[in-house]
Amino acid sequence: MTTSPASAKPVKSVRPTKGLRHIHALDGVRGTAYLLVLGHHCFATELPPGPWPALDRAFINFWSFGYLGVDLFFVLSGYLITTLLLLDRRGPHYFRNFYVKRAFRILPIFLVVIAIVWSMHMVSTSYALLSLFFIVTFAQLLHVRSYGPFWSLAIEEQFYLFWPLIVRRFNMRRLRQILWLVILIEPVIRYFFVRGGHSISYYTFTRCDGLAWGALLAMESRLHRLLEGGVRAVSWWKNKGIFVFATGCILAVVGVILSFYPAGGRWDTAVMLSACPLLFSGLLGFILTHRKSWISKIFRNPVLRFYGDISYGSYLVHLYVLAGYDRVVAPYPAGATGPWILRGAVICIVTTITCTVSLHFFERPIMNLRKRLLA
């Protein structure tokens, strides 16, 4: 087995490359992912049964797929993290710098939110402890009631635990083989879980192909210099990117069709979870290779970029703002559109204000402290 050990030829200096240039459209992609999840929870979950007007039903059906914003997060995270790891993997302070950056970005507001929602009895002590150790993905297996976004954060943290070591140790060829193994085996795992009547939404081993697709895209970017633009980038898109994107679109259509049939069971979710990593990695591939396109311009929209900036805190907070609102205002009349629109607007406004203040006066000041620990 060919490896790239830490004792490989030393690098005199680690210089920023074009691959690390800030791409504003990716901030908009992150903001879009958060808004999809927000809309899903506000307008498509916990709806009272009853006759809804046809237009309202179409609106609800649209937001019912908003949960796939989490998969967009996964693909984007896999791409960004792997890009940074590939750049720094020969550096002498590779692990220290990576984990210091991640800890200062993730832990402060995460610990605050956990403490607040636990003290307000919104989550159980068992759930809070599982969340603190980033193993809440096993809550269902342990019969612990799960309510909150921490399962997806646990998947991310488990990725951060193992992937840097793998990137450090193996060469590019072996890394590609590992990623393709994950990508190919994930749909098989979901198939057997659904066939056995089990949930597939919250386990790491049923949701990690999004991270793998993002990581694979990062490797393609590094090998084929996609961020340099020009003929080489467009050629990559025509030969590979468009095929990935088209395959994801076809599978997504199949998943949507299955969702309208009761006999579809969980198969629609299984198909969508296989479709979206392809679809979203294809989308990111297009943005990377067509930075001046109208699609990239849409994602550079200041509103989407703003929500991309506050997306992490907002993602952690919004479900608990929603739960608090429902404690005060519920029950809601079935089939009444007004209360649900008002509900979504209040949740969005309160979450946005809270997390904007948190970002500028709590999260960023703490992130600035990490410079003292970085090598």
Residue 189 CB-half CA count within 13 A: 18
Beta strand spans in 149-277 (E): none
Q: State residue 236's pLDDT score.
A: 86
Q: Does the structure show a pLDDT above 70 at 159?
A: yes
Q: State residue 22's pLDDT score.
A: 82
Q: State residue 229's pLDDT score.
A: 64
The token pair at 214 is 């993002």
Token look-up 């809440």 returns 136
Share of residues in the chain with pLDDT > 90 (%): 61
Q: Does the structure show a pLDDT above 80 at 134?
A: yes
Q: Domain map of the chain by residue range?
A: 19-46+53-372
Q: Does the structure show a pLDDT above 50 at 1?
A: no
**Residue 309 exposed, middle or buried by CB count within 10 Å (0-12, 13-18, 19+):** middle
Q: State residue 17's pLDDT score.
A: 41
Q: State residue 299's pLDDT score.
A: 96
Beta strand spans in the chain (E): none
Residue pair 36/333 in contact by the 8 Å Cβ criterion: no
Q: What is the mean pLDDT of residues 241-265?
A: 87
Q: What is the mean pLDDT of residues 311-338?
A: 88
Of 52-66, 169-183, 313-327, the least confident: 52-66
The 10s digit of each residue's pLDDT in 79-123 is 999 999 998 888 888 999 999 999 999 999 999 999 999 999 999
Cα–Cα distance, 5 to 169 (Å, whole number): 5
Q: Kindly indicate the confidence band of residue 370, based on its pLDDT and cuts at 50, 70 and 90.
A: confident
Mean pLDDT of the chain: 87
Of 7-21, 150-164, 309-323, the least confident: 7-21
The 10s digit of each residue's pLDDT in 341-354 is 898 999 999 999 99
Q: State residue 230's pLDDT score.
A: 67
The 10s digit of each residue's pLDDT in 32-85 is 999 999 999 998 887 776 677 888 888 888 888 999 999 999 999 999 999 999
* Dihedral, 272, 275, 276, 282 alpha carbons, nearest 10: -170
The alpha carbons of the chain give a radius of gyration, in whole angstroms, of: 21
The token pair at 141 is 């297996």
Helices then strands, counting H and E runs in the chain, come out as: 17, 0
Q: What is the mean pLDDT of residues 231-238?
A: 81
Residue 188 CB-half CA count within 13 A: 5
Q: State residue 304's pLDDT score.
A: 96
Q: State residue 264's pLDDT score.
A: 63
Cα–Cα distance, 137 to 316 (Å, whole number): 16
C-alpha angle with apex 217: 224 to 27, nearest 5 degrees?
110
Q: Does the structure show a pLDDT above 70 at 212?
A: yes
Q: Does the structure show a pLDDT above 50 at 329?
A: yes
The token pair at 148 is 């909150």
